[in-house]
């Protein structure tokens, strides 16, 4: 037993909650809770004052996160029962339940560098809660965390607190960006992990009650803490594995007459396999897949399970190969030199309907092409110039100045394609499909190339216009 307290949390129902971290998880999740639970006061806090100011923007198009359906919910709840604030301590002290939703990036230093999750933000939160809390609290971990983090949080809270009781729950978030609001409103399941003591059970039931305001009871699964923490990593690892599996087949299809989409459809009709997560792409990105798999690899390795670690690591190796393969194909098709050639990127976000670019395939494809001295021009409907440069500068492959010399970010896709040698589609934004591709063709240098990393466009139509059209997974 690693929870020693048998104290029963005294609260009868939850009236005030707070969430530490106003990011892609905390923001949408708390907005939906506020909308569905008008009787609960929800305060989202963050140490990043700019981010909080953006959440409080009168102009709802300036919220820090782009997510379909989000601004309508914020409009309906903000300053009624949903508040965004930088007053972290006050919100912690007032709340019955504290969600921790801060970032857990992969470590960039020391032991576990490049694999283990960096828990320093979580630890800072736990220490802060211990310092500030004067009444009993339920502390909920919402960030993706490696297994056994709840134990660490519990330890800090028990040893440094003001003598109040804490019950720690794991409640991982399964929303996908771009469909976050729908995923939250109609969640397949909610997972609540907690201690198997009377006190832990009471905390789990109290948190379940929040979700029961809009979800059927059967979809709320209660488990022990470790199962809950591990399930989040495993769910993401399984999803990422499907993408890497179909991407491995895309390479095979490009060497044969098979078409990866037909293969995916054929296998997806098997109800045991199912049709989702079989879209071959330039590679998966996002804040979770790579990070969670690396965590799984690190944990397995630390426990001496080398074969398990190697098995999961291969999913990442396959994903890196897919990004590299896409860039290499551009280079070899453009007569083995892209130096000084204008290549236009449509899309920078890691998928459509989000402004998030974390681990986006576009970053790595751009990096490979910039190393060959290509001139890149980037357009994404929701990603700002400063973010594109931040992503590239972070890689440290070139100086910030070199990146700015070789790459420009533009707001008008039509102006961008003027005299371009090639267009590469990196994100599957719907609007790209409706562009005037004949006009685009006229403006480009000939022969005009399209490299479709998302299989977004109609191959026959593009070839009819005159493009040399290449897509993932089909010759
Ligand atoms: C994922 C999980 O889906 C979600 O449950 C978890 O809470 C967080 O991680 P997210 O990263 O937001 O969500 O997006 P997701 O839709 O899963 O896509 C991840 C990446 O895989 C994207 O880059 C996407 O383009 C790519 N992908 C997905 C494919 O390449 N092919 C597919 O068939 C599906
Ligand atoms: P996610 O996708 O998991 O939501 P984000 O990086 O979008 O991750 O959001 C995490 C947020 O947590 C950031 O806005 C960051 O400023 C905030 N944060 C990190 N540490 C703390 C802390 N100790 N107190 C308050 N907020 C924090």
Assess whether 205 and 297 both reside in one domain.
Answer: no
Closest residue by Cα to atom 3, ligand 2, is 103
Q: Which of 183, 215, 247 is where one domain is finished?
A: 215
Quote the pLDDT of residue 9. Answer: 63
Assess whether 315 and 425 both reside in one domain.
Answer: yes
Question: Mean pLDDT throughout 322-337?
Answer: 98
pTM for this prediction:
0.94
Residue 221 in contact with ligand 1 by CB distance below 6 A? no
125 alpha carbon, closest ligand: 2
User: What is the edge-to-edge ordering of all strands in the sheet holding 468-471?
Assistant: 407-409, 375-379, 342-346, 422-425, 449-452, 468-471
Q: What tokens does 208 get?
A: 């379940």
Assess whether 347 and 456 both reside in one domain.
Answer: yes
The answer to whether residue 392 is domain-embedded is yes
- In this predicted model, what pLDDT tens digit does every residue of 154-169 receive, in sequence order? 888 888 878 889 999 9
Assess whether 204 and 303 both reside in one domain.
Answer: no
Other beta carbons within 10 angstroms of residue 274's beta carbon come to 12
Quote the pLDDT of residue 158. Answer: 86
Going by pLDDT thresholds of 50, 70 and 90, the confidence category of residue 5 is: very low
- Host H or E run for residue 241: helix 225-254
Assess whether 53 and 162 both reside in one domain.
Answer: yes
What phi and psi, each to the nearest 5 degrees, are found at residue 288?
-105, -50
Q: Residue 121 belongs to a domain with what CATH number?
A: 3.40.50.720
Other beta carbons within 10 angstroms of residue 253's beta carbon come to 21
Assess whether 196 and 298 both reside in one domain.
Answer: no
DSSP 8-state secondary structure symbol assigned to residue 7: P
Query: Rounded to the nearest whole angstrom, what is the distance from the C-alpha of residue 121 to the centroid of ligand 2?
Result: 8
The yes-or-no verdict on residue 4 having pLDDT over 60 is no
Other beta carbons within 10 angstroms of residue 153's beta carbon come to 24
- In this predicted model, what pLDDT tens digit does every residue of 83-122 receive, in sequence order? 999 999 999 999 999 999 999 888 889 998 988 888 899 9
Number of domains in the chain: 2
CA dihedral (122, 124, 130, 135) in degrees, to 10, reads -60
- In this predicted model, what pLDDT tens digit does every residue of 347-375 receive, in sequence order? 999 999 999 999 999 999 999 999 999 99
Probe ligand 1: pick from 243, 274, 452, 472, max atoms within 8 Å of CB? Answer: 243
Closest residue by Cα to atom 25, ligand 1, is 351
Query: Rounded to the nearest whole angstrom, what is the distance from the C-alpha of residue 123 to the centroid of ligand 1?
Result: 28
Task: Note the residue count of the chain.
Answer: 475
120 alpha carbon, closest ligand: 2
The answer to whether residue 464 is domain-embedded is yes
Nearest-angstrom CA–CA distance, 48 and 355: 18
Quote the pLDDT of residue 152. Answer: 86
The answer to whether residue 281 is domain-embedded is no
Residue 289 in contact with ligand 1 by CB distance below 6 A? yes
Nearest-angstrom CA–CA distance, 296 and 234: 8
Please name the residues in contact with 150: beta carbons below 8 A apart, sequence gap of 6 or more. Answer: 141, 168, 169, 170, 193, 225, 226, 229
Quote the pLDDT of residue 144. Answer: 79
The yes-or-no verdict on residue 8 having pLDDT over 80 is no
Question: Mean pLDDT throughout 274-297?
Answer: 96
Quote the pLDDT of residue 106. Answer: 86
Which atom belonging to ligand 2 lies closest to the Cα atom of 128? Answer: 23
The answer to whether residue 3 is domain-embedded is no
Nearest-angstrom CA–CA distance, 409 and 384: 8
Nearest to 99 by CA among 56, 40, 186, 50: 40
Quote the pLDDT of residue 66. Answer: 94
Q: Which of 215, 244, 279 is where one domain is finished?
A: 215
Assess whether 211 and 327 both reside in one domain.
Answer: no
288 is catalytic: yes
Assess whether 300 and 167 both reside in one domain.
Answer: no
Which atom belonging to ligand 2 lies closest to the Cα atom of 144? Answer: 3
Quote the pLDDT of residue 3. Answer: 40
- Average of per-residue pLDDT values in the chain: 95
Q: Do 99 and 18 contact (CB within 8 A), yes or no?
A: yes
The answer to whether residue 74 is domain-embedded is yes
Nearest-angstrom CA–CA distance, 72 and 109: 41
The answer to whether residue 243 is domain-embedded is no
Nearest-angstrom CA–CA distance, 281 and 323: 9
Question: Mean pLDDT throughout 59-72?
Answer: 96
Beta strands in 282-386 (DSSP E): 342-346, 375-379
Which residues in 178-203 are b (16+ Cβ under 10 Å) and which e? bbbbebbeebeebbbbbbebebbebb
Q: Tokens 């393969």, residue? A: 325
236 alpha carbon, closest ligand: 1
Going by pLDDT thresholds of 50, 70 and 90, the confidence category of residue 147 is: confident
Closest residue by Cα to atom 25, ligand 2, is 46
Assess whether 207 and 327 both reside in one domain.
Answer: no
Other beta carbons within 10 angstroms of residue 417's beta carbon come to 26
Nearest to 228 by CA among 119, 120, 112, 142: 142
Query: Rounded to the nearest whole angstrom, what is the distance from the C-alpha of residue 23 to the centroid of ligand 2?
Result: 6
Residues in binding site for NAD(+): 21-26, 46, 51, 102-106, 143-144, 177, 288-291, 358
Quote the pLDDT of residue 7. Answer: 53
Give the chain's radius of gyration (CA, Å). 24
Residues in binding site: 21-26, 46, 51, 102-106, 143-144, 177, 288-291, 358
Going by pLDDT thresholds of 50, 70 and 90, the confidence category of residue 149 is: confident
Q: Which of 193, 215, 237 is where one domain is finished?
A: 215
Q: Do 407 and 366 contact (CB within 8 A), yes or no?
A: yes
Query: Rounded to the nearest whole angstrom, what is the distance from the C-alpha of residue 51 to the centroid of ligand 2?
Result: 10
Ligand 2, pocket residues at CB < 6 Å: 20-26, 46-48, 51, 88, 101-103, 121, 124-125, 143, 287
Q: Do 415 and 385 contact (CB within 8 A), yes or no?
A: no
Assess whether 210 and 339 both reside in one domain.
Answer: no
Closest residue by Cα to atom 1, ligand 1, is 176
Question: Mean pLDDT throughout 292-314?
Answer: 96
CA dihedral (448, 450, 451, 457) in degrees, to 10, reads -170
Question: Mean pLDDT throughout 415-429?
Answer: 97
87 alpha carbon, closest ligand: 2
In percent, the amount of the chain with pLDDT more than 70 equals 98
Going by pLDDT thresholds of 50, 70 and 90, the confidence category of residue 145 is: confident
In percent, the amount of the chain with pLDDT more than 90 equals 89
Assess whether 176 and 33 both reside in one domain.
Answer: yes
Q: Do 350 and 319 contact (CB within 8 A), yes or no?
A: no
The answer to whether residue 232 is domain-embedded is no
Query: Rounded to the nearest whole angstrom, what is the distance from the C-alpha of residue 374 to the centroid of ligand 1?
Result: 29
Residue 167 in contact with ligand 1 by CB distance below 6 A? no
Quote the pLDDT of residue 19. Answer: 98
Closest residue by Cα to atom 23, ligand 2, is 125
Which residues in 50-69 are b (16+ Cβ under 10 Å) and which e? ebbebbeeeeeeebbbbbeb
Going by pLDDT thresholds of 50, 70 and 90, the confidence category of residue 146 is: confident
The yes-or-no verdict on residue 55 having pLDDT over 50 is yes
The answer to whether residue 228 is domain-embedded is no
Owning domain of residue 186: 16-215
CA dihedral (463, 466, 469, 475) in degrees, to 10, reads 50
Assess whether 328 and 183 both reside in one domain.
Answer: no
- Host H or E run for residue 21: none
């Amino acid at each position: 037993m690693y929870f020693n307290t048998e104290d029963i949390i005294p609260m009868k129902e939850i009236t005030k909650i707070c969430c530490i971290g106003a990011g892609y998880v905390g923001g949408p999740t708390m907005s939906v809770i506020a909308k569905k639970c008008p009787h609960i006061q929800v305060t989202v806090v963050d140490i990043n004052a700019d981010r909080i100011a953006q959440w409080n923007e009168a102009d709802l198009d300036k919220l820090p996160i782009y997510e379909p359906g989000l601004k309508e919910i914020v409009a309906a709840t903000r300053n009624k029962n949903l508040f965004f604030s930088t007053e972290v301590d006050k919100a912690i002290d007032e709340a019955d339940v504290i969600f921790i939703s801060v970032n857990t990036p992969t470590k960039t230093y020391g032991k576990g560098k490049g694999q283990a999750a960096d828990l320093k933000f979580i630890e800072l939160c736990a220490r802060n809660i211990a310092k500030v809390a004067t009444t009993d609290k339920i502390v909920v971990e919402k960030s993706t965390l490696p297994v056994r983090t709840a134990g660490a949080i519990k330890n800090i809270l028990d040893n440094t607190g003001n003598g109040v009781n804490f019950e720690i729950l794991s409640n991982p978030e399964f929303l996908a960006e771009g469909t976050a609001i729908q995923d939250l409103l109609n969640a397949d399941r909610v997972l609540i992990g907690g201690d198997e003591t009377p006190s832990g059970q009471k905390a789990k039931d109290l948190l379940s009650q929040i979700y029961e305001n809009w979800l059927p009871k059967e979809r709320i699964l209660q488990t022990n803490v470790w199962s809950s923490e591990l399930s989040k990593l495993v769910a993401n690892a399984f999803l990422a594995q499907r993408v890497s599996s179909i991407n491995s087949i895309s390479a095979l299809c490009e060497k044969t007459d098979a078409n990866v989409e037909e293969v995916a459809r054929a296998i997806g009709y098997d109800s045991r396999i199912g049709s989702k997560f079989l879209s071959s792409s330039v590679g998966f990105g996002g804040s979770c897949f790579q990070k969670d798999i690396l965590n799984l690899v690190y944990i397995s390795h630390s426990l001496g399970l080398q074969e398990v670690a190697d098995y999961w690591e291969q999913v990442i190796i396959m994903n890196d190969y897919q990004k590299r393969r896409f860039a290499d194909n551009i280079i070899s098709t453009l007569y083995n030199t892209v130096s000084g050639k204008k290549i236009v990127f449509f899309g920078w976000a890691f998928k459509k309907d989000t402004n998030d670019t974390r681990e986006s395939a576009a970053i790595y494809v751009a990096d490979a092409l910039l190393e060959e001295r290509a001139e890149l021009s980037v357009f994404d409907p929701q990603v700002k110039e400063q973010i594109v440069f931040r992503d590239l500068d972070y890689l440290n492959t070139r100086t910030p100045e070199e990146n700015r010399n070789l790459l420009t970010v533009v707001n008008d896709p039509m102006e961008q394609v003027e005299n371009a040698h090639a267009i590469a589609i990196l994100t599957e934004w719907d609007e790209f499909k409706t562009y005037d591709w004949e006009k685009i063709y006229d403006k480009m240098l000939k022969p005009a190339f399209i490299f479709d990393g998302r299989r977004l466009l109609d191959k026959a139509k593009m070839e009819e216009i005159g493009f040399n059209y290449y897509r993932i997974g089909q010759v």
